[in-house]
């Protein structure tokens, strides 16, 4: 998908290696001289970050190196995490399921599922977020289990062959609600329990990451259309991440799994079991 005028333009700040330039080009991201007035991917040794313009506080989203919390967070994932419980297990495949995350963002939730062995296909419509997610996934060593595709979720879901339909379609429409939800922190509650006094720093990081994602993403996806597409596609269930104070996005919730700051509403397809 080509970026629209409502999606922030992002470039790759020189210098980068040939492999990184080629990868960025696949996502529609071109190179440019370093310019603090622009939104850019910036490399400094082993550190890789997405940096906002100085006029917006020069916020940094660390993807690799110092400040990137991916490995530490993924090592702490447990099977009783609310997200993991909401997706469930497939008895016939040793517990693993085929999941499509149709609103991938930075792939944090998709990586949570992949690290536990689920096959995950993550869809992200914004090229810069897709590239950021790609580098995070590669850094975490999850690329064999997590495939990232760039484009609008509704037509991608509609084009799936019958044999490629997933067990689960996962949706996180909270990003379009206009509230300060922790879209990028499916395990924030666990983090606070583990780290105690360090938790406020993690919450501040989550809010900063969310601001950057909102800055890049442009207008939100039509939630009703996306949910309808998910319902036509999933063979077993649709899982919707929701703020606990908000109503379900559609009637028919079979059950919900509560976290400290989010709720996961589960919709079962015809003939499936909880």
Tokens of 192: 């606070």
Q: Taking residues 177-183, what's their average pLDDT?
A: 39
Q: Which of 15, 45, 13, 17 is nearest to 30 (CA)?
A: 13
Higher per-residue pLDDT: 198 or 126: 126
- The vertex-130 CA angle with 126 and 133, nearest 5°, equals 140
CA distances from 256 to 196, 204, 243, 259, 274 (A): 27, 27, 12, 10, 11
pLDDT of residue 68: 57
Q: Provide long-range contacts, Cβ within 8 A and 24+ apart, for 247-254.
A: 249/171, 249/173, 249/223, 249/224, 250/224
Q: Taking residues 141-155, what's their average pLDDT?
A: 91
pLDDT of residue 227: 96
Residue 166 has pLDDT above 90, yes or no: yes
How far is Cα of residue 202 from the mean position of the Cα atoms in its chain? 17
pLDDT of residue 229: 96
Residue with tokens 């399921």: 97
pLDDT of residue 239: 98
pLDDT tens readout for residues 233-273: 999 999 999 999 999 999 999 999 998 889 999 999 976 65
pLDDT of residue 75: 64
Full-model pTM: 0.82
How far is Cα of residue 107 from the mean position of the Cα atoms in its chain? 3
Alpha helices in the chain (DSSP H): 18-26, 70-75, 82-87, 108-115, 127-140, 153-158, 188-195, 199-217, 223-233
pLDDT tens readout for residues 45-72: 778 889 999 988 888 888 876 555 555 5
Residue 168 has pLDDT above 50, yes or no: yes
Q: What is the DSSP letter of 102?
A: S
Please report, for the chain, the start and end positions of each structural domain, with discontinuous segments joined by +: 11-64, 70-268
β pairing state of 237-242 and 168-171: parallel
pLDDT of residue 18: 92
In CATH terms, the fold of domain 70-268 is Rossmann fold (3.40.50)
- Helices 127-140 and 18-26, interaxial angle, to 10°? 130
Q: Taking residues 1-14, what's their average pLDDT?
A: 66
Residue 187 has pLDDT above 50, yes or no: no
Q: Is the peptide bond before 179 cis (omega within 30 degrees of 0)?
A: no
Residue with tokens 């996180």: 172
């Amino acid at each position: 998908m080509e970026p629209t005028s409502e999606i922030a333009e992002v470039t790759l700040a020189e210098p980068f290696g040939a492999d990184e330039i080629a990868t960025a080009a696949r996502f529609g991201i071109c190179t440019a001289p370093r310019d603090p007035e622009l939104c850019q991917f910036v490399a400094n040794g082993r550190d890789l970050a997405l940096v906002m313009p100085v006029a917006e506080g020069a916020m940094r989203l660390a993807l690799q190196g110092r400040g990137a919390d991916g490995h530490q967070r993924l090592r702490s994932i447990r099977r009783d995490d609310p997200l993991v419980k909401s997706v469930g297990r497939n008895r016939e495949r040793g517990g693993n399921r085929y999941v499509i995350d149709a609103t991938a963002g930075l792939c944090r939730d998709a990586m949570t599922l992949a690290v536990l062995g689920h096959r995950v296909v993550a869809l992200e419509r914004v090229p810069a977020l897709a590239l950021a997610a790609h580098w995070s996934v590669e850094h975490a060593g999850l690329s064999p289990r997590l495939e990232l595709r760039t484009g609008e979720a509704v037509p991608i879901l509609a084009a799936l062959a019958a044999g490629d339909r997933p067990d689960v379609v996962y949706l996180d429409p909270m990003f379009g609600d206009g509230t300060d939800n922790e879209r990028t922190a499916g395990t924030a509650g666990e983090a606070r329990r583990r780290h105690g006094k360090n938790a406020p720093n993690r919450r501040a990081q989550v809010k900063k990451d969310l601001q950057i994602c909102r800055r890049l993403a442009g207008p939100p996806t039509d939630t009703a259309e996306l949910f309808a597409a998910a319902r036509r596609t999933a063979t077993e269930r649709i899982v919707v991440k929701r703020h606990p104070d908000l109503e379900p996005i559609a009637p028919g919730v079979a059950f919900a799994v509560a976290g400290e700051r989010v709720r996961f509403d589960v919709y079962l397809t015809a003939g499936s079991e909880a």
